[in-house]
Amino acid sequence: MNISISLPDGSIREFPSGISGAEIASSISEGLARVALAIEVDGVIQDLSRPINQSASVKILTWNDQGGKSTFWHSSAHVMAEALEALHPGVKFGIGPPIENGFYYDVDLGDRAFGEDDLQELENKMKELAKKDSRYSRREVSKDEAMRYFTEKNDPYKLELISELADGTITFYEQGNFTDLCRGPHIPHTGFIKAIKLLNVAGAYWRGNEKNKMLTRIYGITFPKQKELDEYLHMLEEAKKRDHRKLGKELDLFTFSEKVGMGLPLWLPKGTILRERLEQFMRRAQVKAGYDPVVTPHIGSKALYVTSGHYEKYGKDSFQPIHTPDENEEFLLKPMNCPHHCEIYRSRPRSYKDLPIRLAEFGTVYRYEQSGELHGLTRVRGFTQDDAHIFCRPDQVKDEFIKVIDLVLHVFKSLGFENYTAQVSLRDPDNKEKYIGADDLWDRAEREIQEAADERGLKTVAVKGEAAFYGPKLDFMVRDALGRSWQLGTIQVDYQLPQRFELEYVGSDNQRHRPVMIHRAPFGSLERFVAVLIEHCGGNFPLWLSPEQITVLPISERFNDYAHEVLNTLKVLDIRGFVDARDEKIGRKIRDAEVKKIPYMLIVGEKEAAARQVSVRQHGKGDVGSLPLDEFIHQFRMAAATPDN
RNA sequence: GCCGAGAUAGCUCAGCGGUAGAGCAACGGUUUCGUAAACCGUAGGUCGUGGGUUCAAAUCCCAUUCUCGGCUCCA
């Protein structure tokens, strides 16, 4: 009996039933067969060796396919497990999946500490095992047999996994001396794995639960060619150069002090300029969008947060209350601005005609993040949100939400963020006690967010369990230089706080109604935004943000006067810069300015002073020629304009 | 908070039981220079902090603070 196999190019071929993926690959070309790693059959990836018994559309997967890569890495995790077992008999295995770049395996090594030194040994063992070209063989086993095998092996983690599987769906994979509970699929044999690098060791809770035992997680990556590994490692090195913590130090943007306290950034003068430029940009955009700026204090009485519900939720894990001579008085450092803004709303009666009211504040807040969580500027304990709260009628929610999306997109576009993902963060339906508020309000808010995003044509990913405890969110996620994802902009619909604060407005029916609240922060926080911006542009900021836009470089001491004259002319026009009057040769001054990533270098000597010109050199581009100072100013101001609001 | 790694001059790092080192930066001098590093010299550290072992500790041990990689968390 024959079956029809349709290939990605649209062609359909007849094969006898039971043909394997490997055989199909061979029939297409020997070259393809040599690099084939797995096969996708009607969208499901499986081993090349498995027979195909019915007509299907298939795709042979190679290293160039994401599915091929993940199969390759998954198989590599098994080689690592085999090596671990060879070196450390009795090791117990958790799970070992492929990830975006490489793979890991969670293992329990008992009391034995596994450090960086052990990695090299393990890596060598893996190379040795990979060279054996061991085939991966798949075997279907009964639940009983599976339980027996791992009981004998004394691996409680695998037993736990098996206990949750249905009989008849369990498969083992075996290569060399290693057998693992595994759904597969795998590559044909270990010989494909030519280049191996174990990257790091970390702790990870079994099944991601803090209450479970912590296992040792070993991360690695493998490639079919050594050259590709070398390129990958080089890429990692390059990415590290963009790390905002490194550039923040090199460019004098921010620092931390053990004495001030961990996670509390100190903004240096240059970083402050950057930050203030961004603030001004946002202020203008918000004025245009109908926001009213407000200012509120950095502390609030405990009662404020009891009302908001934040005290109950975070009180014991936060900075503790500030006490006063009056022992009945307690204040909290504000961890968010919403309660203060609610009180502003409440300060007088509101009419439906007043709505929406949009209160905006660059509010500095303090949150006691777990010590191990702190990370440069992206996760800190004191930070400033570009916060605003929109109080509107229920019928205005969607429209307001869409306006906020437009504002966020405007910000991202102005700063060149193109690779963001829009995530609709929903409640975890299996864990409702984490959240406050009635089901129907949640359903409504979740629906409205999705509708607003759809209406603006946003491609969204819905993620359950990521909502705030009081409502669902639309989050804009951007990756840092090393591929870690951070949340920047956020928009949240909230039906809870208006209720808790008993916010009201008088409708056209002369009845009292409850407004809806939208929390939003397009940057998220200035700290995190600056961090991601630094990595995004590698420290080469857009001209309008650059802390130092120009530097004037006199050829020798004799032209210092003219250099200062040039600088003064520029300063009057709010152009930021300085004269490098050091007793150094021009080559040196240029080098230093290039290293500091200053966008424009104005070189002045005999000729320039005589003709009132400047010789312009652009960062990364080199000499772009001389021109009259007036002409330079004109061109510069065009180039340095703040993005149009 | 948990697992692992680390902390030496302003910065980047070497030294890993026998009286603290380099490069760059800083400071002084020479030089006055045309598009990515002039030359000579000087100064700078109780080796994160506190204990312990030792004739002797940057080096070994314990504790602690902070940093880094993950995990958990993220109002």
Q: What are phi and psi of A483, to 5 degrees?
A: 85, 5
Evaluate if residue A243 carries a pLDDT over 80.
yes
Quick one: residue A441, left, alpha or beta (phi over 0 = left, psi -120 to 50 = alpha)?
alpha
| DSSP per position, A602-629 | EEE-HHHHHHTEEEEEETTTEEEEEEEH
The string of pLDDT tens digits covering residues A607-626 is 999 999 999 999 999 999 99
CATH class of the domain defined by A550-639 = alpha beta
Per-residue pLDDT, averaged over A161-170, amounts to 92
Whole-angstrom distance, CA of residue A533 vs CA of residue A528: 8
Token digits of residue A55: 């007509």
Question: What is the pLDDT at residue A399?
Answer: 95
**A548-560 burial, b for 16+ CB within 10 Å, e for fewer?**
bbbbbbbbeeebb
Using the CA of A311, which nucleotide's C1' is the nearest one? B75
pLDDT value of position A92: 94
- Write down the catalytic residue from A158, A334, A381, A519: A519
pTM for this model (two decimals): 0.94
Percent of chain A with pLDDT over 70: 100
Q: What is the pLDDT of residue A398?
A: 93
CATH for the A67-232 domain, from 3.10.129.10, 3.10.20.30, 3.30.980.10, 3.10.270.10: 3.30.980.10
Strand B lies under 7 A from the Cβ of residue A368: yes
A338 CA to B72 C1' in angstroms comes to: 27
Does at least one atom of strand B sit less than 7 Å from the CB of A367? Answer: yes
Classify the complex by whether its ipTM is higher than 0.90, answering yes or no.
yes
pLDDT surpassing 80 at residue A71: yes
What is the structure's pLDDT at A451? 95
In percent, how much of chain A has pLDDT > 90?
90
Contacts of A137 (CB under 8 A, 6+ apart): A173, A174, A175
In our burial notation (b when 16+ CB lie closer than 10 A, e otherwise), range A145-162 reads ebbebbeeeebebbbebb
pLDDT at res. A64: 95
Domain with CATH 3.30.980.10 in chain A: 67-232
Closest to A356 measured CA to CA, from A321, A305, A402, A303: A402
Q: Which nucleotides of B are covered by protein (CB under 7 A)?
A: 1-5, 11-12, 26, 30-38, 65-75
Distance CA A163, CA A63 (A): 34
What pLDDT shows up at residue A623? 96
Domain(s) of CATH 3.40.50.800: residues in chain A: 550-639
* Average pLDDT for A99-121: 88
Q: Which CATH number among 3.10.450.40, 3.90.1150.10, 3.30.930.10, 3.40.50.1220 corresponds to the domain A255-296+336-537?
A: 3.30.930.10
Strands A473-479 and A420-426: antiparallel
Q: Indicate which residue of A78, A358, A389, A597 is catalytic.
A: A389
Contacts of A89 (CB under 8 A, 6+ apart): none
Gap from A73 CA to B69 C1', in Å? 21
pLDDT score, position A644: 75
Annotation says A473 is catalytic? yes
Which pLDDT does position A522 carry in this prediction?
97
CATH code for A2-62? 3.10.20.30
Identify nearest nucleotide to residue A607 by CA to C1′ distance.
B34
The Cα A211–Cα A573 span in angstroms is 60
Q: Confirm whether A428 is a catalytic residue.
A: no
- Low-confidence winner among A63-77, A109-123, A341-355, A461-475 (lowest mean pLDDT): A109-123
Supply φ then ψ for residue A486, to 5 degrees. -125, 145
HSE-CB of A101 using CA atoms within 13 angstroms: 13
- Cα–Cα nearest to A406, from A541, A286, A534, A278: A286
Interatomic distance A371 CA / B54 C1' (Å): 37
Check pLDDT > 60 for residue A645. no
Residue A447 pLDDT greater than 90, yes or no: yes
Q: What is the pLDDT of residues A513-567, one digit of tens each?
A: 999 999 999 999 999 999 999 999 999 999 999 999 999 999 999 999 999 999 9
The answer to whether the beta carbon of residue A484 comes closer than 7 angstroms to any atom of strand B is yes
A317 touches strand B (CB under 7 A): yes
- CA closest to C1' of B32 belongs to A556
Asked if pLDDT for residue A407 goes beyond 90, the answer is yes
pLDDT at A591: 96
Q: Which amino acid appears at position A117 of this protein?
A: D
Task: Look up residue A516 and give its two tokens.
Answer: 């809806």
Give catalytic status of residue A367 as yes or no. yes
